[in-house]
Amino acid sequence: MSERLTFNDEYIMSMIDEKVESLVNGLDAMLDHMREDYKNWSELSSRYDGASESRLAIRDDMVKEYNSSLTYRMGKKYVKVTDGRSVKAFVVACDNDKKFSFGDILKPAGWKAPARNFRRGNVLDRSFNAVRWTGAM
């Protein structure tokens, strides 16, 4: 007879906690990447717009507003990343997806669902090549 492997509840909960913690850390890194990309874009655009003091102040206010508006919310299968007005990306937050892996970044198809054609990166790998301040491309 084969022995059955069992785990205690504490072990299972610690495994789940580690997975959630790594997802949250990856999401935070993606938001930091998006914030940095917005800052770089706004600095580049202000150079061509005549960098007067008033325009620089407006730019700084816009950067602060964008930075504070980025949030994410956990759903049943995905984490939705928004800026309060639009969805920037979805991140797969389940293990039983038939096509994508845990942590894959997906482009939004609309407010409620991602485009499921291909992944745009992974928050666990910190691969954000297809993520800009406007969201997953």
Residue 58 in domain: yes
Residue 129 in domain: yes
- Asked if the model's pLDDT at residue 137 lies above 60, the reply is yes
Residue 4 in domain: no
Q: How many domains does the chain fold into? A: 1
Cα–Cα distance measured from residue 73 to residue 113, given in angstroms and rounded to the nearest whole number = 13
For residue 56, give its domain range. 9-136
Residue 78 in domain: yes
* 27-84 confidence digits (pLDDT tens): 999 999 999 999 999 888 766 666 677 778 888 899 999 999 999 999 999 999 999 8
Cβ atoms of 97 and 77 within 8 Å: the answer is yes
Residue 95 in domain: yes
Residue 17 in domain: yes
- Please tell me the pTM assigned to this model: 0.85
CA distances from 105 to 49, 78, 87, 91 (A): 33, 10, 12, 5
